[in-house]
């Protein structure tokens, strides 16, 4: 008798697992048992030295650094390419990041070059989501920066959203008016964290920041290194950016076998 019951129970157990998995697929909102670190959006930052082969193949969005704009005292614009050449990233969002060591007196030449860079990446079949601008000198000219963002927004408003890399020092209340001017044409701020551990005063200022933002962690920090329980309290935190390390291979996630979950 027992010999017949055990196979029967095994079949019931198999049917139950398949039924639960099918129900979860049809009712994704009902699956709320994920761990906190699995609920946040993770993005990758590919800086100088990162090749396409180093980027994890998990379809998370990727931001790639393209280079730096430099400006001479006579107004001449110099573009210095530093990142990857245009390549196709299939079925994933792609963001482009451009650095500025100053601001152009006449933005037309810079915007023309930016449009050319965007087209080069779009012609590879990529889905470009955002353009990140990184202008963070010790004494930023926020008035000129706001004007440049106005011009850039008019240039890219039909296809891409503008985002800016921000210094954590800008979270000081004394920068409130300047950030309001920048936010007019910016959809998201990206705070590049100098250390993996956020200081309490910075965390407190993020809680009251009021605009959508990403937090970018230093090179080599992995999801397992981040305790997301505290970051879940931050609103409106839009996602976590992980900086890829050109000297370390990203750990591969072990895939499950068959329909049975790994315990």
Please tell us whether the domain made up of 35-243 is placed in CATH 3.20.20.80. yes
pLDDT per residue, tens digit, the chain (263 aa), is 555 554 544 545 444 444 444 444 333 333 323 333 343 478 999 999 999 999 998 889 999 999 999 998 887 889 999 999 999 998 899 999 999 999 998 899 999 999 999 999 999 999 888 999 999 999 999 999 999 999 999 888 766 789 999 999 999 999 999 999 999 889 899 999 988 888 899 999 999 998 999 999 999 888 888 877 778 778 788 889 999 999 888 776 544 444 433 33
DSSP secondary structure code for residue 107 in this structure: T
Quick one: the chain helix, strand, coil %, rounded to 5?
35, 20, 40
- The pLDDT value given to residue 235: 78
> 96, 102, 94, 61: which is closest to 82 by C-alpha?
96
d(CA 139, CA 169): 11
Return all residues near 215 (Cβ < 8 A) that are at least 6 apart.
191, 193, 198, 206, 231, 237, 239, 240, 241
d(CA 117, CA 24): 42
DSSP secondary structure code for residue 234 in this structure: S
- The pLDDT value given to residue 66: 97
Query: Which of helix, strand or coil describes residue 21?
Result: helix
CB 214 within 8 A of CB 238: yes
- The pLDDT value given to residue 7: 53
Q: What backbone phi and psi angles, to 5 degrees, belong to 42?
A: -110, 140
- The pLDDT value given to residue 249: 80
- The pLDDT value given to residue 37: 37
CB 40 within 8 A of CB 228: yes
Using alpha carbons, list the distances in angstroms from residue 207 to 65, 99, 193, 237: 28, 27, 15, 9
Q: What backbone phi and psi angles, to 5 degrees, belong to 203?
A: -60, -40
């Amino acid at each position: 008798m027992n010999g017949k019951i055990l196979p029967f129970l095994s079949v019931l157990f198999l049917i139950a697992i398949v039924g639960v998995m099918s129900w979860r697929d049809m009712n994704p909102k009902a699956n709320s048992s994920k761990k906190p670190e699995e609920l946040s959006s993770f993005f990758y930052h590919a800086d100088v030295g990162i090749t396409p082969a180093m980027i994890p193949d998990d379809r998370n969005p990727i931001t790639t650094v393209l280079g730096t704009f430099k400006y001479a005292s006579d107004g001449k614009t110099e573009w210095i390419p530093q990142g990857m050449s245009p390549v196709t990233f299939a079925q994933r969002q792609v963001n482009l990041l451009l650095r500025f060591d100053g601001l152009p007196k006449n933005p037309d030449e810079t915007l023309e070059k930016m449009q050319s860079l965007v087209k080069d990446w779009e012609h590879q079949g990529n889905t470009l989501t955002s353009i990140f601008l990184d202008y963070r000198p010790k004494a930023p000219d926020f008035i000129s920066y706001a004007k440049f963002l106005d011009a850039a927004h008019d240039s890219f408003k039909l296809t891409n959203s503008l985002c800016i890399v921000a210094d954590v020092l800008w979270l000081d209340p004394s920068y409130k008016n300047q950030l309001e001017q920048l936010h007019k044409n910016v959809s998201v701020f990206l705070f590049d964290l100098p250390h993996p551990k956020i200081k309490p005063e910075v965390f407190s200022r993020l809680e009251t920041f009021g605009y959508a933002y990403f937090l970018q962690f230093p090179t080599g920090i992995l999801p397992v290194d981040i305790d997301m329980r505290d970051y879940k309290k931050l609103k409106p935190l839009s996602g976590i950016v992980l900086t890829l390390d050109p000297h370390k291979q990203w750990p591969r996630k072990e895939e499950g076998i068959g329909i049975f979950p790994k315990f």
